[in-house]
Amino acid sequence: MDEAPFKLAQSAADHIARATGVETHDIALVLGSGWGEAAELIGETTHTLNAADIPGFLAPTVVGHVGTVRSVLTSSGKRALVLGARTHYYEGKGVRAVVHGVRTAAAAGVKTMVLTNGCGGLQEHWLPGTPVLISDHLNLTATSPLEGATFVDLTDLYSSRLRALAREVDPTLEEGVYAQFTGPHYETPAEVQYAKRIGADLVGMSTALEAIAARHAGMEVFGMSLVTNLAAGISPVPLSHAEVIEAGQAAGPRISRLLADIIGRL
């Protein structure tokens, strides 16, 4: 395997350690659409870094996504790295760029990788604003973050231990299988039906590739989606990015509190 992506992640982690004075982080979070407020609730932000200053991080291109990396001291005394700058596959920067944040977290010592996103829901009873635990994924991107003969077992990728812990915080939390499409277009109704038939409950444009890289790096993965819209054809009205942002904003405080409570138990 080409070591370059791991060397770049190590220099990013070195930069973070130097800039924060925090040698090792315990947890890392990628906060997707709707989840941004969780950063304030999980603890005290001790350092805010501009992602663009960290080796390998690219400036975000989507409204509603922030380009910072924060070091947070959690209420339970752990060090969390909050990655506000997710690079999506649809940005065309390649899979290495997509998983650079995750690999940086691993190089920074992180053992628990928390991946969140905003997504489309395939279950009609999941109204916009419903948080759902990710139990497994379907990687429909036709690519992998791993290169060469890198055979990694993905059984229990989304840690059943961490899902059980989340349900202790909120026993009403449901679980679902997340299908990652490449985007940036939303699915056609036919593609949503296809996803449903092969076992998806959630459709989105992130997370699966990051989860694979996280497992490869030896981290335990926790994934949670915010259903911001019913997937195309499930709802009678067409999707709009404005609707997605709006649902995220409305649910923000509640789901961020929930995530912060889960993080407090890690």
- Residues near ligand 8IG (CB under 6 A) are 33, 118-120, 181, 183, 186-187, 203-205, 228-229, 231, 239, 244
Instruction: Spell out the SS3 assignment of the chain.
Output: CCCHHHHHHHHHHHHHHHHHCCCCCCEEEECCCCCCCHHHHCEEEEEEEEHHHCCCCCCCCCCCCCCEEEEEEECCCCEEEEECCCCCHHHCCCHHHHCHHHHHHHHCCCCEEEEEEEEEECCCCCCCCEEEEEEEEEECCCCCCCCCCCCCCCCCCECHHHHHHHHHHCCCCEEEEEEECCCCCCCCHHHHHHHHHCCCCEEECCCHHHHHHHHHCCCEEEEEEEEEEECECCECCCCCHHHHHHHHHHHHHHHHHHHHHHHHHC
Q: How far is the CB of 265 from ligand 8IG (least distance, A)?
A: 27
- Shortest Cβ 15–ligand 8IG spacing (Å): 30
Report the residue number, 116 or 159, with the smaller CB distance to ligand 8IG. Answer: 116
Beta carbon of residue 146, minimum distance to ligand 8IG (angstroms, whole number): 23
Residue placing its CB nearer to ligand 8IG in the complex, 126 or 222: 126
Nearest residue by C-beta to ligand 8IG?
120
Q: How far is the CB of 210 from ligand 8IG (least distance, A)?
A: 15
Q: Which residues are catalytic?
A: 187
Beta carbon nearer to ligand 8IG, 191 or 220: 191
